[in-house]
Amino acid sequence: MWSALRFGLLPALKLYLLGFKVLLAQLLNKPLRLPVMPRQNGKVAIVTGGGRGIGYEVVRQLARLGAHVIIGGRDEQEGLAAVRRICEEDKEAKVEFRKLDLASVLSIHQFAQSFKERNLPLNILVNNAGVMLVPEGRTGDGHELHFGVNYLGHFLLTWLLLDLLKSSGEHGDAARVVNVSSSAHSIGEIRLNDINSSYHYSAHAAYCQSKLAQVSFSSHLHQEMQRGGFRVNSCAVDPGMVNTALYCHLWTPLRMAQRVIARLFFRTPAEGAVTVLSAALSQDCKGGYWSNGHREMTSPAFDPGLELNLWEVSMQLLGLQSDQ
């Protein structure tokens, strides 16, 4: 009984309460608008999960600014339809779709390998794809779905593309890794002794853990890049509450209410993309945590020991070596 409360009901209550607070704050803020951004001609960007939702709007805007954008996604039809729509809107747009399933280590390796073989630079990597409140399940490699897709898959993708990011960053124009996290990270807890939620599964806690893991990864990666003198910035972003299909796994009565509320009060996907694009394109991006269109003055405080532990556990789970 106590364990059902602690591991089931409590994380759900905390997440819905946080959602309510975030929505209130969002309503009191001015609507977000994308500021004028510099042209991105000659730049190459990868956006995971760019076939719909926030990711689609990020791809659309990057392409409009002249970047060559690759959508990495698992649904080919959705991805190709997104490419078609963007190219119909802007005949000059350079957008393509490549298959990437973040729930499969093999697929991530294949995506990264085929990208590297093209000898393109990589200026912007947007780790956007995500799942929320999915029923208990495992990736092809045995990891809990939120942890595996939202965090570990992006960790591996970034790791495999890191050399390319390092060589593409220029003085005054560093390459970017933008991790699309969420305010839900603030109530997350990283349970290193049960990272795959094998003992107690709560979809709510698993989502929050994955979003906290992304923020922690982002911060650690940024510090590593600065220490090594590499021109790569890594930041984490909260897009706000955005009306997308992410909420499709909510409990049916809640989903019905959420649909109405979302239509009236949530950000549109285009508004949700504003903070992601600001982090990806602002000339003064120096890592950190971004929300409501700008870099927050105070980034979430971390236990550096936990950050390092999570990094090392992730390397182990993926069979990676630091000197690779």
Ligand X SMILES: NC(=O)c1ccc[n+]([C@@H]2O[C@H](COP(=O)([O-])OP(=O)(O)OC[C@H]3O[C@@H](n4cnc5c(N)ncnc54)[C@H](OP(=O)(O)O)[C@@H]3O)[C@@H](O)[C@H]2O)c1
Query: What span, in angstroms and rounded, lies between the C-alpha atoms of 293 and 92?
Result: 27
Q: Is 108 in the site for ligand X (CB under 6 A)?
A: no
Q: Is 218 in the site for ligand X (CB under 6 A)?
A: no
SS (H, E, C) 13-46: HHHHHHHHHHHHHHHHCCCCCCCCCCCCCCCEEE
Site track for ligand X across 172-211, x = CB under 6 A: --------x-x-----------------------------
**Cα 162–167–173 angle (5° rounding)?**
100
**Distances 233 to 15, 104, 255 between C-alpha atoms, Å:** 29, 26, 37
Residue of the chain from 149, 152, 177, 221 that contacts ligand X (CB under 6 A): 149
Q: Which two tokens stand for residue 224?
A: 């590593």
Q: Is 53 in the site for ligand X (CB under 6 A)?
A: yes
- Binding region for ligand X (CB under 6 A) out of 33-41, 94-102, 305-313, 315-323: 94-102
- Binding region for ligand X (CB under 6 A) out of 43-51, 217-225, 290-298, 301-309: 43-51
Query: What span, in angstroms and rounded, lies between the C-alpha atoms of 285 and 313?
Result: 28
Residue 78 vs 224, nearer CB to ligand X: 78
Provide the minimum distance between the beta carbon of 20 and ligand X in the complex, in angstroms, as a whole number. 13
What sections of the chain are H helices per DSSP? 2-4, 10-28, 53-64, 76-89, 105-116, 145, 153-168, 203-227, 252-265, 269-281, 304-318
Residue of the chain from 13, 245, 256, 308 that contacts ligand X (CB under 6 A): 245
**247 Cβ contact list (under 8 Å, min separation 6):** 132, 133, 255, 258, 259, 262
Query: What span, in angstroms and rounded, lies between the C-alpha atoms of 61 and 72?
Result: 16
The half-sphere exposure of 77 on its side-chain side, counting CA atoms within 13 A, is 0
Residue 46 vs 100, nearer CB to ligand X: 100
Q: Is 73 in the site for ligand X (CB under 6 A)?
A: yes
DSSP annotation of 242: B
- Binding region for ligand X (CB under 6 A) out of 3-11, 166-174, 221-229, 238-246: 238-246
Provide the minimum distance between the beta carbon of 141 and ligand X in the complex, in angstroms, as a whole number. 12
Query: What span, in angstroms and rounded, lies between the C-alpha atoms of 150 and 128?
Result: 8
Q: Is 241 in the site for ligand X (CB under 6 A)?
A: yes
Residue 62 vs 103, nearer CB to ligand X: 103
Site track for ligand X across 296-315, x = CB under 6 A: --------------------
Q: Is 288 in the site for ligand X (CB under 6 A)?
A: no
Catalytic residues: 207
Q: Is 246 in the site for ligand X (CB under 6 A)?
A: yes
Q: Is 124 in the site for ligand X (CB under 6 A)?
A: no
Q: Is 52 in the site for ligand X (CB under 6 A)?
A: yes
Residue 169 vs 271, nearer CB to ligand X: 271
- Binding region for ligand X (CB under 6 A) out of 70-78, 115-123, 197-205, 252-260: 70-78
26 — phi, psi (to 5°)? -65, -40
Binding site for ligand X (CB under 6 A): 48-49, 51-55, 73-75, 78, 100-103, 128-132, 149-150, 180, 182, 239, 241-242, 244-246
